[in-house]
Chain A
Amino acid sequence: MSETTSEIEVRSAGAYASIQDSGRRGLRRVGVPWSGVLDPAWMKIANALVGNLATAPVIEHFDGGLVLKVLHGRVRVAVAGQADVDISGEQGVQRVVCWRSVRLDAGETLRIRGLRAGRLVLVAVGGLQVAETLGSASTYARAGIGRPLAAGDRLSALFSEASDFLLAEPPIDGDAVIRVVAGPQTGHFADDALAQLCAAPFAITEQADRMGIRLHGPQLQHRSDAHKDIISDATVPGSMQVPGSGQPIVLLADAQTAGGYPKIATVISADLGRLANRRAGETLRFQVVDVDAAEHAARSHAEMLAQLIASIRRLPGDGSVDLEALYNNGLISGPISGFDTEE
């Protein structure tokens, strides 16, 4: 299979964009978090759509505004998320749906205009070339490992001739509850704190980034002032720490690896990506499950992902997509076309 090297320029990084893959392992003991995409399932789908290995690096982007221009060569991209995306070039501006791959030619520009829901978008680029540091291409600027993408950055990709692919039924990000396992320091809280965590909705605040999400809801009472701190112990992605304010913070991929606030619970891995995709102001509810149920949920989540990836189908080479099916699946709106020209 012949491959050609293409070059992409970041024209705008929008709100925030960084290169992430499945993250680096084995260094939490020296204070280096995993990093990596906030929703690994989306990474695997987006990479499958462009023919990459499941854990190849992708561009993770928050809140829209990312603009990528192909300087030379051709690239194949796929966007995971619920975004309005368009491609502009000599043919004018065309809208493109998420959850499919599409080829961009030299001079064409991909723009993530805005998000219809959620705050997270992953852009997979076929054959994206990113150097690894300590076993991963994931950006973690606090350790001097890369930096967020900025206008003017250039990325190269190996393009190979292939079909385009479509995921007809994207993963559903419903309002389902977020499940947690109690512990490790539930005993530092008042007897009813865990019940309180599950009884009322919690809102996502503006203080949310790759390190963590501050929530706002009923105050979770510590057992006493002496229980507001612990001797620092290890955190994991999903750890829900509660500082003296009584308002929980859920730690994510870039969070520090140890902390001195007691942790009332841990969000299960199957639900953490959904939580990370919630917007400020949205509310969510928690439900406590035991470790066996949480491990079972992780396996179910992996099975559902495998089924989704198996359902990815090839788009006909001439572009004559089964548009009726696409339309019925709600993947596109308005005038029916794989691409539709903007008015």
Chain B
Amino acid sequence: MAPESNVASGVRERMRVVDAGDQAFTIVLGERIAPEVVATVTALDRQIAALHQTGTLPGLIETVPTFCSLTVIYDPLQASRRQLLAEIARLPPADTHVASSASRRWRLPVCYEGDCGPDLEATAAALGMSVQALIAQHQQSEYCVYMLGFLPGFPFMGDVPSALQLPRRSEPRLRVPPGSVAIAGALTAIYPSESPGGWHLLGQCAVPLFDPERPKPSLLQAGDRVCFAAVDAAEHTRLQQAAKARALDPAAFLDAEVAS
């Protein structure tokens, strides 16, 4: 019994495989939350997807990219961990530069006004800056979607500027409204639906992050790039109404693919 084992050969030297039962294993590609680690995860994910399309990985059900690892889920009636790992181990080293240059970039509207950002003042005070500076700094960065999880369509994005990093609220909220744009630690996120949550709420985004009626229900995917653009309350209300009427085309918030 070896819950952790190294896959021999080539590019897999940095790759550690851990067991996750009889229908999954996890390939660990790093030990910290960082864009370059996510780029490695994304690159391997794309390589496996391409291999799967050629029919080389029968029994593969799906892969799940996270901050530092890629989990491969399979049907033990059609495949074994041994067979799948043997195929994956044959992959050539991934070009992580290609992976990141193929990312989509979004410019998402955020309203930081009025009731939209209930934690703006307390957060600015805790960080020792003005509300204006907090809003400006939150918008300054382009964020990488490290992974999705917690809720359907919930993006973990980073890194927020170090001046904005603070721990979660000591008292989590029982109800965070859908669309809330929030920060915690080095991460920022948007709550796709109402849920309990302990992050600091800075604003509201009217673009639906998750819609089960869309063929691709999640707006964002791991590896995407996201910028925030402030909108005023009137524009936010207009966008919310359009979203409610299902008249908001998410593609309108997509910049051209990032050039390398």
Q: Is the CB of B21 within 8 A of A236?
A: yes
Cα–Cα distance between A180 and B19 once the two chains are bound (Å): 11
How long is the Cα–Cα vector from A268 to B31 in the complex, in angstroms? Answer: 27
Q: Are A185 and B18 in contact (CB under 8 A)?
A: yes
Check B147–A142 contact: CB distance below 8 A: no
The residues in A between 266 and 291 inclusive whose CB is less than 8 angstroms from any CB of B are 266-270, 288, 290-291
Specify the chain B residue showing the minimal Cβ separation from A238.
Answer: B21
Q: Are A29 and B19 in contact (CB under 8 A)?
A: no
Bound CA–CA A290/B3 (angstroms)? 8
- Cβ contacts under 8 Å, B76 to chain A: 269, 294-295, 298-299
Contact, CB under 8 Å: B66 / A234: yes
Judging by beta carbons under 8 Å apart, are B1 and A288 in contact?
A: yes
Q: Which residues of A contact B62 (CB under 8 A)?
A: 25-29
- Interface membership of A184, Cβ < 8 A: yes
B 177-231 contacts with A by CB, 8 A = 193, 210-213, 217-218, 220-222
Min CB distance A177 to B, Å, is 15
Range class of the A interface residue count: 35 or more
Chain B residues with a Cβ closer than 8 Å to the other chain, count? 51
In the assembled complex, which residues on chain B have CB atoms less than 8 Å from the CB atom of A239? 20-21
Are the CB atoms of A232 and B67 closer together than 8 Å? yes
- Give A263 to B150 CA distance when docked, in angstroms: 16
Specify which chain A residues have a CB less than 8 angstroms from the CB of B217 in the assembled complex: 27, 30, 32, 134, 143
Of the candidate stretches B105-113, B129-137, B151-159, the one touching chain A is: B151-159
Q: How many contacts between A and B, using CB within 8 angstroms?
A: 165
Given A181-B21, A187-B4, answer yes or no on A233-B80 (Cβ-Cβ < 8 Å). Answer: no
Chain B residue contacts of A335, Cβ below 8 A:
none
Complex Cα gap A186–B20 (Å):
11
Q: Which residues of A contact B19 (CB under 8 A)?
A: 181-184, 266, 291
Would you call the interface of chain A mostly helix, strand, loop, or mixed? mixed
Nearest residue (CB) in B for A144 is B212
If A32-B152, A182-B3, A231-B33 touch, whether A298 touches B23 (CB-CB below 8 Å) is: yes
- Whether A232 contacts B149 in the complex (CB less than 8 A), given A183-B18, A184-B20, A267-B21, comes out as yes
- Complex alpha-carbon distance, A15 and B77, angstroms: 34
Whether B21 contacts A269 by the Cβ 8 Å rule is: yes
A291 touches B65 (CB 8 A): no
When distances are taken between beta carbons in the complex, the residues of chain B under 8 Å from A183 are 3-4, 18-20
B64 interface residue (CB < 8 Å to A): yes
* Nearest-CB residue, chain A, relative to B222: A29
Residue among A26, A31, A298 facing the most chain B CB atoms (10 A cut-off): A31
Q: Which of B26, B73, B82, B222 contacts A233 (CB 8 A)?
A: B26
Q: Which residues of B contact A115 (CB under 8 A)?
A: none
A78-B218 Cα distance, complex, nearest whole Å: 37
Give a binary string over A250-273; 1 marks a CB under 8 Å from any B CB, 0 the rest: 000000111100010011111000
Given A134-B212, A186-B3, A258-B64, are A30 and B153 neighbors across the interface (CB < 8 Å)?
Answer: yes
Query: Closest CB of chain B to A195's CB: distance in Å?
Result: 12
When each residue 70-99 of chain B gets 1 if its CB lies under 8 Å from chain A and 0 otherwise, what string results? Answer: 010100110011100000000000000000
6 pairs, CB–CB < 8 Å, chain A vs chain B: A28-B73, A134-B217, A182-B3, A231-B32, A236-B24, A292-B80
* A-B pairs, 8 with minimum CB distance: A266-B21, A258-B149, A183-B3, A294-B22, A30-B218, A234-B71, A183-B19, A184-B18
